Structure 1
Amino acid sequence: MKLMIVDDNLQVREGIAYGINWQEYGIDDVCACADGLEAWQKINGFSPDIIIADICMPNMDGIELLEKVRTLDKSCRYILLSAYSEFEYAQKAIRLGADDYILKPVKPRKLIELVMKNVRVLLDVRQESRDYYNVYEKIFINTLLAGKRIDSTNRFKKFLEYKYNLILESNLLFAAVLKVERADSSDIKVPVPELPHSALAGLLDQTKCLLPLPLDGHSFLLLGKGDYSKLVAHTIFTELRNKIKQLNTSFTDKNIKITAGISDTVSISEIHCAYSQAVSALDMAYYELPGSVLFYQDYQTVTMPEFQETVQKDYIEQITSCILSVNQEELSHVFEAFEKECRQKQYKPSDIAAFFKRLYFYVIRHTKLEASLEFEQSLLASHTHFDTLFHTFVKFVLRSLQNNALLSADSYSNIIQNICVYLGDHFKEPLTVESVAEKFNRTPNYISAKFKKEVGKSFTDYLVELRIQKATALLTYTNKSISEIASEVGFNSYTYFSKTFRKYTGKNAGSFRKPSAPPPHT
């Protein structure tokens, strides 16, 4: 499918053309023109399937272009775009053959829905072909991802038969969502079509009853013939699980595993429900190992509870206490109890992820555990299984202890421990060695000398480093402005914050910002 955008407003024109990923919706080629005359000059060479044109433009307006387009191709869908809401414009546009009319300012979602409606009309009037079903496949996948019901079971059946030779005599099917991941659960960037898709297709080709459809760069949807007989269905699912295990074995040397969730058998009209079931089953693999294959029917009554705040707080306090006292034996016991509880109760993955982030930043603030940006990015930003997240975190803490990253309890006096905890809780405030000394009924000279002796750095350096650590976390995991962050961590001057941040990290504060895609300009 080809889409042409015609608008003399550069921001609107490029916002529609390039601010929306049209390929996700079956639009493979987009052309942007500044007015009707430019569009008319390009129309024969480009041959658009859908045109979105503004009414009011210089040289040749949208209605004049419409008149010319209709002399060439009656099947091209034409959508008029304008800030003019007068009914006379709509009347003239409809009389000349416009298919739709939308007013500025345009909301991307509404425009996408309008274009998709016109794409479906084109699909209905054009002859069946491989191009037709390539576009239909993208629309079908998009419909499933949106959790919506397919609009025509007959069209869907024809798609399966024509493109994949999958004939559903009984109108029953099941779905499986397969996710490609590394055996160590780290993030994977290899696109599915380049890695397992062809191998899976070859492995399943012998049955002629299963087909894989790519969903994105690391997962795909598997559809197969279903059966309402529980015995037959169980046999089918078991065979599929064995095939996936066989495929995983072939990927052993590549550190790759395919983890899958398989739905129950449903009628063809309920394919969206089968997809939802498969995703739910796949979610349960969080507490399993990469390469697991889970059946929805085994987990449909399982509800993942929330990780209660009081329980989280208790674990954080226990772990922090063990780190401060460098008690590795007790720390291991706490971690073992935590792991056992999580596996038994199977808390929501999102709650577990949030807990580890909270725990990490808490111990960084309240102990001498050294922050690691690499650790934060590799572990906390990407986690697909509890086992990997948990054991990597434990190794990180124990390694820090074993490498003498923390001071022993004997050389860390109670008053300095209490001051460090106090600084961790009040670092946002305008603290000075004098104010802290007064808080703990000591002289500034006493605090300064004892801090330097035990901690190995001055009171001021410790406080600044603590604030920089907190700022780094806010820069990495929030969208707050740098000036807001500077103020929030206790710096009164943005300039002083920037200078200090670079001094302690060797980088500008902005370099810790995660890049984000700009919103569409429509």
Structure 2
Amino acid sequence: MLIKLMVIDDEHWIREGLKQTIDWESYGVHFMCDAEDGIEALKLIEENPPDIIISDIRMPTMDGMELFNELKNREIDVKVIFISGFDDFAYAQKAIKLGASDYILKPIEEDDLIAVVERCVGEIKQKNEMNCKMAELSGRVRESLPLAKQKHLEMCLSRPISEQELLSKWETLQIDLNPNKLIVLSAVVHEWGDRRLDETGCSLLRYAIGNLIEEIFKEAGIRALACPLHDNEYSDVALIVSSCKQDVSGQYNEVLSCATRAIEEAFEVLGVRISIGASQIGDGRTLLFTFREALTNSVEYLAQGTGRIFGPTANDNEPLNVFAVNTVDEPYLGMKVEALDTAWLNRIFHAIKLKDEGKLSDLLDQQITLLQDMVQQTSALAVRREMNSHIGMLLSRWQDMCQARNGSDSCMLMYHQKLQLYRSPLINWKHAVMSAFLMKDTSASGYGQKYTIDSALQFIQDNYHLGIGLNHVAKQIYLNPSYLSRVFHAEVGETLSRYLIRVRITKAKELLEQTSLKIYEVAEQVGYRDFRYFVKNFKELEGITPSQYRNYGA
């Protein structure tokens, strides 16, 4: 299927030139139509939306930037490539920051334009393939997990069940799990991918995540059954795992290995970021309590970051702090929740109402500091519960304000945006709130991920000279190293190790040019402990040795 292209420019000869001089179909593109300004284009787009738009910036009636903002407001998913004269360069740069795909300066070079269009075509096809995979996974789950089985699993996780009832039901529903050795995993979704999902969309994605995790365990020879949780305040998918192995340690290692792969493939295949909590081994009669243990452990992401596994032996073979199984039902121990009281709520909402970004940022920084202190004194789940209550009141006030202002739901948050607030770790809390209520980035999904990568880049810039590596960066920003490696490559376009080498070699070149330090001293200054490895990396990147570079520069 060809990708649909539209060209918008007030100069007829440019439109005709782009239409006639390039064999678009040979690049998998159908030249759909053209328009002379934004108003005419908007009418055509409403009737038949294109996949890619090539637009001039300055046009009469409605210019390219105004059209671009209108498309974003209407949530029309389209790639926009701006063409501009030199005088419009600043506008083009602004457009890129707001989400445009690229800009090309006039006069237009055909090869440059085709390269940008081919990149957009590749991104569109990749996104379509991912959506197809998600739909396929969702469909397969709905076929393989009848409603009766789903309801029974939900019941097992919500109330005690007798052994006789369990065995009878499992035989009837053909649940092939060993009821005497069960581990429960609780998966939490923090970011829902590059999608604007309503409640139904999030439900389908939970099915897809559950099916993906089931398949990973099946490939490892471990029996497992997923149970999407559509109404749980803290968890999105539960997984019940059984094994016939007598070696408890070996069984846990296999389960945790599969859980690690699930976190990585959830991002790679479905574009979602998850964390997983694991329980100890229980049996069918205690599923309620093992699930509560897994759920309690999963909420450790609040302080320790997302994309990790929390539970027994999940951290370098040392047990994490597993809270009592009845923690979910305990009151807040009578602690004064200063950071989440009505006074704080009023101050934060007042800053949101006034769109005072600076004031809101300061308040959230203070709130995070108080919440971090609270997590040290009590369970992460207790703090999460109080935060969710705080979020509920904030959303209620926001809804009332939106309806009072314009009598409509036009400024209401999407369903997945609300979930991201309820699932946000402390490290992303400020950005989640500001993104949602100040509409800092209505594209929704990538914001938390971009902030994570920005934090990694900043840490590298500040500490490259200390001999840091992937594990140091991952520990600093609370991520699993393997998961960080994948996310970093997807966002930056190269591996973290390669990026770190480039940073160090760039700094080394500066020292070679500006100082009289010996070569081995330069290597130490930029974080290398092995002089030969420094020379090897330098030559691979620059094509010459450090000594040759210094002499050449001189």
Q: Tell me the TM-score normalised to structure 1 length.
A: 0.39
User: TM-score w.r.t. structure 2 length?
Assistant: 0.37
Which has more radius of gyration? 1
- More relative contact order, 1 or 2 (CA 8 Å, 6+ apart): 1
